[in-house]
Amino acid sequence: MKRTANLLLLLQLLLFAFQPISSQPWDGVIVTQGDYQALQAIKHELTDPNGVLRSWNDSGSGACSGQWLGIKCAQGQVIVIQLPWKGLSGRVSEKIGQLSALRKLNLHDNFISGMIPTSLGFLPNLRGVHLFNNRFSGSIPPSIGSCPLLQTLDLSNNLLTGIIPESLANSTRLYKINLSFNALTGSIPVALSHSPSLTFLALQYNNLSGSVPDTWGGKEENNFYQLQILTLDHNLISGHFPPSLSKLGKLEEISMNHNQINGTIPNEIGNLLRLRVLDLSNNAINGQIPVNLGNITNLTQLDLSQNNLTRDIPASLADLPKLNSFNVSFNNLSGSVPFSLSEKFNSSSFVGNLQLCGYSVSTPCPSIPPSHNIPALSPETSKKSGGKLSTRSIILIASGALLGVLLLLCSIWVCCLTSRRNDSKAKNGQTIRKASASAGEKGAPVSGTEVEAGGEVGGKLVHFDGPTVFTADDLLCATAEIMGKSTYGTVYKATLEDGSQVAVKRLREKIAKSQKEFEGEVNGLGKIRHPNLLALRAYYMGPKGEKLLVFDFMPRGSLAAFLHARGPDTPIDWPTRMKIAIGAARGLSYLHTSENIIHGNLTAANILLDEQTNAKIADYGLSRLMTTNANSNVVATAGALGYRAPELSKLKNLSTKTDVYSLGVIILELLTGKSPGDSMNGVDLPQWVASIVNEEWTNEVFDLELMSDANNGDELLNTLKLALHCVDPSPAARPEVDQVLQQLEQIKPELPVSSGDDGGD
């Protein structure tokens, strides 16, 4: 029990960034008159359409006994106001400053407007202010900097204007400031760069100007300063990149993209050995890429695109072992791309550099032309070749003509057989030919990566590897059963003549790229093999533009159906659910780290299960085959289903963190048994789970099937904590999928590394 209580506290830490008051019995002390009057004033100025504050209606005797929703007390004084996701509007009364013992104010994800109360600065015990995702306006009160114990200030996604007060740095315990997605102006206060406790600083999507302070780290040792996350992107910041940032040895992420930063990237940046993300794209940075960047072995994302960088790409970058996202496009770089980088990343990472070569077939590096190895044709030889045909040539021509006649007769015979077999198939059920309205001709069986031409009617079948051998005719004449439809197209279960089954996805018309681009991308996808990724075995392009993708058939269907379409007599135990979660994390980790692919549409519907319930992620990389408009529709669909990260409602840029959010929703789905599309009082699944945990009823979150085994308690709580970390509203606060996988494997270490094949059998 003691261990479980500790895990509950960890969950609260994750949600609110400091240790809350634990759920203890009421001490019997009635709320003070001053606190009672302040609460009544707060209720009076809030608009409560859902009636959540109905419990605040007696003389005050129930305020501290747990009868007033969202209120916690100690010794008759209010210490917590906790009312997130309650649909509240109106404004927060200045009378809140009378709650002298208040430690935490949590009103995030409501519709509250008006000014942030200046009286918050009168609260000496205030530790956490969580007002994000509301409609607060006006400026940030400088008085908030007078709270000596303040640890977390999150005012993100409001309508705040004015400058960032210098006084915020006065609190020596402040470790998280999130003011992103507002309309703040002015410069970044220099005082913030002197704050040793500050760990997380998020100021992105404002109108900040001036330069980034170059006073980070002071004269102290590197380990004295705690800053790990610095996000300043999408502002109007100018000046040079500050070299003093290199003193902050704990920095893991620097994001300054979409600003007006100029000058060069300092060589000292190579000292940031913990750095995982460096995004300086869309600025005016010049000079060359520092060779010392190759020292940062933890670097996973490097984006220097849309700048004025010159010279070559340092060979040291090719040795970064964890680099899975790399972009230097649209600069003035020259020379050849290091071979391993050109192999790992596609041309979009390098385009827009006119003097850069070696990153694609169309941009070869110039080579020294061969010297006189091939003799020129002599005049005498030319004269001889212009003479009469020899007897041998005549015989060869005649033989060729005879062979052509024989081939024509064979073709007519094959067509007759094909027609007869199609008539027979039509009696048994729909065929892929009918379903896709396409056609093809029979050719020789193929294996490995081979191309089969479509003959008279046209079309092309391209095989990769796999256990099932079939021809274009076999595929197009297979009996087809519709399994589902999506934004990408329709999926069929195709039963071939020999009884084997494959899954065929027919892409919707006019959503795929041109044939040349399509073939280039799909051939790359066909080479991807991992035990937790659904293998692409073949594709077919018809003469009228039809496009079919052929995959392994998964007999147990999707995770969504496995969880939500089963009967009451088919329970799913915790080890099975955990196995699925780990499998999905492994597959997603491989996509991010080895293939540089962001899924962008990860849902329970496209995680498929084989006979041993091994998870296989489907639909990965399909965005590479589609037009931009088609991909926008896919992102919108994911949002409707409840898997889309919240930042995508304003931004359309997918990232590894948006995939991690989707994975977190899927893990919550496995824990709760609830579908993200279900109605939960107007909130989505992550919000519903967080609200239950917030009210300290954590056990109510879990699927009842999982509560029958008491031995699972610690694993469930640890997994829930991890899932809530994945669905953090701030992308910067989410872990990378490698970290998620590592923690899942630590929670359930006895699961094998791989429970299925490698996807390539």
What average pLDDT does the segment 22-26 reach? 43
What average pLDDT does the segment 15-34 reach? 56
DSSP state of 720: H
pLDDT value at residue 286: 95
CATH 3.80.10.10 intervals, the chain: 28-136+149-157+174-180, 186-364
Can you tell me the distance from the alpha carbon of 146 to that of 755, in angstroms, rounded to the nearest whole number? 56
DSSP state of 508: P
CATH 1.10.510.10 intervals, the chain: 557-746
> 3-class secondary structure for 251-292?
CCEEECCCCCCECCCCHHHHHCCCCCEEECCCCCCCCECCHH
Instruction: Please work out, in degrees rounded to the nearest 5, the angle formed at the alpha carbon of residue 421 by the alpha carbons of 419 and 426.
Output: 95
Q: Is residue 466 scored above 50 in pLDDT?
A: yes
**Least trusted range by pLDDT, from 247-256, 494-503, 729-738:** 494-503
Residue 442 tokens, joined = 């029979």
Can you tell me the distance from the alpha carbon of 717 to that of 5, in angstroms, rounded to the nearest whole number? 10
Q: Is residue 254 scored above 80 in pLDDT?
A: yes
Residue 260 tokens, joined = 């007006």
Quick one: which of 107, 174, 177 has its CA closest to 140? 177
Of residues 9 and 191, more confidence is placed in 191
CATH topology of domain 186-364: 3.80.10
Quick one: which of 1, 65, 147, 50 has its CA closest to 691? 50
CATH topology of domain 460-552: Phosphorylase Kinase; domain 1 (3.30.200)
pLDDT value at residue 439: 32
- pTM of this prediction? 0.54
* 3-state secondary structure (DSSP) of residue 635: helix
Q: Which CATH architecture has domain 28-136+149-157+174-180?
A: Alpha-Beta Horseshoe (3.80)
The answer to whether 506 and 482 have CB atoms below 8 angstroms apart is: no
**Least trusted range by pLDDT, from 12-21, 307-316, 461-470:** 12-21
671-684 residues labelled b (16+ CB within 10 A) or e (exposed)? bbbbebbeebeebb
pLDDT value at residue 542: 81
Per residue in 222-244, pLDDT (tens digit) is: 457 889 999 999 999 999 999 99
pLDDT value at residue 696: 60
pLDDT value at residue 302: 94
What average pLDDT does the segment 590-619 reach? 91
In which band, very low, low, confident or very high, does the pLDDT at 698 lie, cut at 50, 70 and 90?
A: low
Per residue in 62-112, pLDDT (tens digit) is: 888 888 999 999 889 999 999 988 999 999 999 999 999 999 999 988 999
Q: Is residue 27 scored above 60 in pLDDT?
A: no
Q: Is residue 250 scored above 70 in pLDDT?
A: yes
CATH topology of domain 557-746: Transferase(Phosphotransferase); domain 1 (1.10.510)
Q: Is residue 160 scored above 70 in pLDDT?
A: yes
Residue 185 tokens, joined = 């102006």
Per residue in 538-586, pLDDT (tens digit) is: 888 887 778 889 998 898 889 988 998 876 668 888 999 999 999 999 9
pLDDT value at residue 449: 53
Of residues 466 and 343, more confidence is placed in 343
CATH 3.30.200.20 intervals, the chain: 460-552
Amino acid, single-letter form, for residue 218? G
Can you tell me the distance from the alpha carbon of 95 to that of 35, in angstroms, rounded to the nearest whole number? 9
**Least trusted range by pLDDT, from 22-26, 325-329, 546-550, 631-635:** 22-26
In which band, very low, low, confident or very high, does the pLDDT at 317 lie, cut at 50, 70 and 90?
A: very high
Question: How would you classify the pairing of strands 89-90 and 46-47?
Answer: antiparallel
